[in-house]
């Protein structure tokens, strides 16, 4: 009797786009760029040659490296979701086996199917949209903070660590049906734990260039998803309090600016959609009258509240 067929993760083919090493970036940065700078400086002079080299390297980054980076992020997202699903399912199976052994249940109980929590479709869609906008807002915030003098690099690194930690744990929380607002509140309550968890994934980005560090993190990040699926921050906090006393840090709203940006974007989009709907309704009503159709009275606005 053959065992269950192993599921193949997206990106596990022979030519895995997720494991694409940044060889082209390294070759251009350490090979072509110095050669190009030397050649252009000899032909055009030191100042114009340096400016021409910077312009060509900027075009290379914008037209090749950045699109490849975005595509790899999209592919990685699919792979991470599949990996998180398999990891969580394996953890649930182990929990069922331990429960069956503890209660002395039979083999049929050990093989009982895992019941997945299926949220309301509209809730799932709205939370997914809000989650994507929130992550984009946090990423934009890290970029802006990195431009600030003196404290910019440190604050950007801290926010990036929290971003990677949230990204690691969010798969697990979403699979258990935890609302997004509860996830963010729990994260901001245990911000010190998540800062330490997210520090290790961002080290390649801090020690190398952005694109090379992101490529290294993209390959190693599945390990942190697996660690997050098995982690328990609340239990760890209880252990620390039992060993060192009941001291507890106050919640830190690390995502408050990003949440404000996300809510503002949603309000602006919602207002634009309502304005477009009103404009289309005004243009549509005379056309109905021209064709001899009765004009329906406009619906009354419901009272606020």
Average pLDDT over residues 187-198: 90
- Are 139 and 162 within 8 A, CB to CB? no
Q: What is the CA angle 241-243-244, rounded to 5?
A: 65
Per-residue model confidence as pLDDT tens digits over 104-154 = 655 444 444 445 555 566 766 777 788 778 877 887 888 788 778 888 888
Average pLDDT over residues 198-219: 79
The interaxial angle of helices 210-230 and 152-175, nearest 10 deg, is 40
- Residue 204: is its pLDDT beyond 80? yes
Q: Cα 102 from chain centroid?
A: 38
Per-residue model confidence as pLDDT tens digits over 241-290 = 777 777 677 888 988 888 888 888 888 876 655 654 554 345 444 444 44
Domain extents in the chain: 117-292
Question: How many CB atoms neighbour CB 52 within 10 A?
Answer: 17
pLDDT-based confidence at residue 197 (cuts at 50, 70, 90): very high
pLDDT: which is higher, 279 or 49: 49
Per-residue model confidence as pLDDT tens digits over 153-176 = 888 888 889 988 998 898 888 888
Q: What is the token pair recorded at 255? A: 């995502």
- Pick from 135, 152, 154: nearest CA to 144: 152
Per-residue model confidence as pLDDT tens digits over 277-300 = 554 345 444 444 444 444 454 444
State the average pLDDT for the chain.
71
The SS3 call for residue 285 is: helix
- Are 165 and 197 within 8 A, CB to CB? yes
Q: Going by C-beta distance under 8 Å and a sequence separation of 6 or more, which residues neighbour residue 209? A: 25, 29
Rg of the chain (C-alpha set): 26
- Give residue 35's pLDDT: 73
pLDDT-based confidence at residue 194 (cuts at 50, 70, 90): very high
- Give residue 275's pLDDT: 56
pLDDT-based confidence at residue 30 (cuts at 50, 70, 90): low
Task: Kindly write down the DSSP assignment for every residue of 39-56, as one continuous string.
Answer: HHHHHH-HHHHHHHHHHH
| b/e burial code for range 260-275 (CB count within 10 A of at least 16 → b) | ebbeeeeeeeeeeeee
């Amino acid at each position: 009797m053959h065992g269950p067929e192993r599921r193949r993760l997206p990106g596990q083919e022979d030519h895995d786009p997720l494991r694409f090493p940044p060889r082209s970036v390294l070759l251009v940065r350490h090979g072509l760029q110095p050669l190009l700078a030397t050649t252009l400086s000899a032909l055009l002079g030191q100042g114009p040659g340096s400016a021409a080299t910077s312009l060509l390297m900027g075009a290379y980054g914008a037209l090749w490296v950045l699109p490849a980076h975005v595509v790899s992020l999209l592919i990685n997202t699919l792979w991470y979701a599949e990996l998180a699903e398999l990891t969580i399912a394996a953890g649930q199976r182990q929990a069922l086996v331990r429960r069956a052994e503890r209660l002395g249940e039979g083999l049929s109980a050990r093989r009982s199917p895992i019941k997945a929590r299926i949220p309301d479709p509209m809730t799932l869609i709205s939370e997914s949209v809000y989650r994507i906008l929130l992550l984009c807002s946090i990423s934009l915030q890290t970029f802006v903070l990195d431009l600030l003098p003196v404290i910019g690099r440190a604050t950007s690194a801290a926010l990036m660590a929290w971003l990677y930690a949230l990204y690691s744990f969010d798969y697990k929380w979403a699979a258990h049906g935890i609302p997004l607002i509860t996830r963010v509140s729990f994260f901001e309550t245990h911000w010190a734990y998540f800062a330490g968890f997210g520090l290790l994934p961002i080290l390649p980005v801090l020690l190398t260039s952005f694109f090379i560090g992101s490529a290294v993190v993209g390959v190693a990040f599945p390990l942190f998803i697996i660690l997050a699926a098995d982690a328990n921050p609340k239990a760890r906090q209880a252990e620390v309090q039992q060993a060192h006393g009941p001291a507890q840090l106050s919640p830190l709203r690390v995502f408050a600016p990003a949440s404000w940006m996300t809510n503002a974007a949603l309000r602006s989009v919602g207002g634009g959609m309502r304005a477009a709907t009103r404009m289309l309704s005004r243009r549509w009503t005379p056309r109905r009258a021209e064709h001899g159709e009765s004009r329906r009275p406009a619906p009354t606005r419901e009272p606020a509240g």
